[in-house]
Amino acid sequence: MKINPRSKSSGQILAILIIVLVLVGIAYWWLDSNKRQMAQEGQAFGKQVIQELVVQHNLKFFADHLSPAMRLQYPPSAQQDLMTQIQRLGTPLSAPDIQGEMQFQSHFFEPNGNFHAHINYPTRGADINVAISHPVGRWQIDEVIFTAEAAR
């Protein structure tokens, strides 16, 4: 029995096409699962930043996670000033209610997030806004805005 050369080459093309589609599917699955994992890590880091600053008053955590641009904006003296301002307000009356969301600059890469919390202190309230990102290898703090309300 003689095999038609056209059917043999069309079978090879079909096999290659199936392999390529499987590889594309695997790549998409990997990128999507990586994106979901980065979003979860970002949510956790954003909440941790607010917790470490507002509740724990952890200056070392703040200094260790600043982005290069924030290191210029917040030299050690400014870092200490921010911590002093937060510490003067005392211990929050309740755990901060942290709201935030993660976004990706390109569909799967360059995650960043913005988080907000309103904190109730014994004498006044305060708001904190934090921007984070994960450019290469680690999460970092890109912006911190802390605003205390007028005393009650």
* pLDDT at residue 136 in the model: 81
Site of tokens 């802390």: 146
Question: Which class for 129: exposed (0-12), middle (13-18), buried (19 or more C-beta within 10 A)?
Answer: middle
Q: Residue 118 in contact with residue 146, Cβ under 8 Å?
A: no
Q: Residues 25-55, buried b or exposed e (16+ Cβ, 10 A)?
A: eeeeeeeeeebeebbeebbebbbbbbbbbbe
Tokens of 123: 């004498």
d(CA 53, CA 62): 7
Q: For the segment 22-62, what is each residue's pLDDT rounded down to a tens digit?
A: 999 999 999 999 999 999 999 999 999 999 999 999 999 99
Mean pLDDT by 10 residues, the chain (152 residues): 60 90 95 94 97 95 96 96 94 93 90 96 94 93 94 73
Q: What domains can you pick out in the chain, each with its CATH number?
A: 5-148 (3.10.450.100)
* 71-77 contacts, C-beta under 8 A, 24 or more apart: 74/144
| The model scores a pTM over 0.75 | yes
